[in-house]
């Protein structure tokens, strides 16, 4: 009879992983401190392995980075191909008569893709919004929309696309007579 020792998963340096995710997101320690409510010096100590973070603090840090808490414990690059089924997409309501679906599983470090559906008369909100300072490509899959971008108006139809900085205030409205399906492709991720 042979005795076998179970394999132990490789230990992940959470501090190093935090630094990696923060750099991928192009965030400063100050930004993460402001978003999480934790001090900049505490975050620096965690990243350098000089302090441990509680589960509650890790949750705040993950939220500030826009990642799942499990992502803090994954080392290395991306796993193999991942399938995200239509009915499993994380969804959020936004604006008026609209919803946004995340198409890229976390943590996809360099790219974020959202599909949006706008009912007739729906929009992303009353006012234009901005987020981060990433490159953003907006694609109209079906329907007709109006994109308000930095004070200019663009009428877009099925198959049209436009690129801009996500820091430029923007707002999308469905100006057609049917559901509009759109897509946002953002690099690096800014949500």
- SS3 sequence of 86-155: HHHCCEEEECEEEEEEECCCCCCCCCEEEEEEEEEEEECCCCCECCCCCEEEEEEEECEEEEEECCEEEE
Given a cut of 80, whether residue 4 has pLDDT beyond it is no
| pLDDT > 90 fraction of the chain, expressed in percent and rounded | 46
Whether residues 140 and 68 share a domain: the answer is no
Asked if the structure places residue 4 within a domain, the reply is no
For residue range 18-62, what is the model confidence (pLDDT) as tens digits? Answer: 898 888 878 899 999 999 999 999 999 999 989 888 888 888 998
- The range of the structural domain enclosing residue 121 comes to 86-187
Whether residues 22 and 101 share a domain: the answer is no
Read off the DSSP letter of residue 14: H
User: What is the domain count for the chain?
Assistant: 2
- The CATH code of the domain that includes 119 is 2.60.120.10
Whether residues 164 and 124 share a domain: the answer is yes
| Rounded Cα distance, 191 and 171, in Å | 16
Whether residues 147 and 66 share a domain: the answer is no
- The CATH code of the domain that includes 61 is 1.10.260.40
Whether residues 91 and 39 share a domain: the answer is no
What's the average model confidence in pLDDT over 91-120? 77
Whether residues 166 and 99 share a domain: the answer is yes
- Nearest of 81, 61, 52 to residue 20 by alpha carbon: 61
- Nearest of 19, 10, 29, 23 to residue 75 by alpha carbon: 10
Instruction: Give this prediction's pTM.
Output: 0.58
Whether residues 176 and 128 share a domain: the answer is yes
Whether residues 93 and 181 share a domain: the answer is yes
Whether residues 23 and 63 share a domain: the answer is yes
Asked if the structure places residue 5 within a domain, the reply is no
């Amino acid at each position: 009879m042979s005795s076998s020792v179970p394999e132990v998963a490789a230990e992940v340096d959470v501090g190093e992983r935090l630094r990696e995710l923060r750099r991928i997101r192009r965030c400063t320690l100050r930004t993460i401190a402001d978003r999480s409510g934790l001090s900049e010096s505490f975050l620096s100590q965690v990243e350098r392995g000089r302090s441990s973070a509680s589960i509650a603090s890790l949750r705040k840090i993950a939220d500030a980075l826009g990642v799942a808490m499990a992502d803090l414990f994954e080392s290395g690059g991306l796993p193999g191909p991942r399938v995200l089924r239509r009915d499993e997409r994380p969804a959020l309501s936004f604006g008026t008569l609209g919803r946004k679906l995340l198409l890229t599983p976390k943590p996809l470090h360099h790219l974020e893709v959202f599909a949006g559906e706008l009912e007739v008369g729906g929009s992303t909100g009353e006012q234009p919004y901005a987020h981060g300072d990433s490159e953003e490509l907006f694609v109209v899959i079906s329907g007709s929309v109006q994109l308000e971008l930095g004070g200019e108006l663009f009428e877009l139809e099925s198959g049209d696309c436009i690129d801009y900085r996500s820091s430029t205030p923007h707002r999308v409205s469905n100006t057609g007579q049917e559901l509009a399906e759109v897509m946002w492709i953002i690099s690096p991720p800014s949500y």
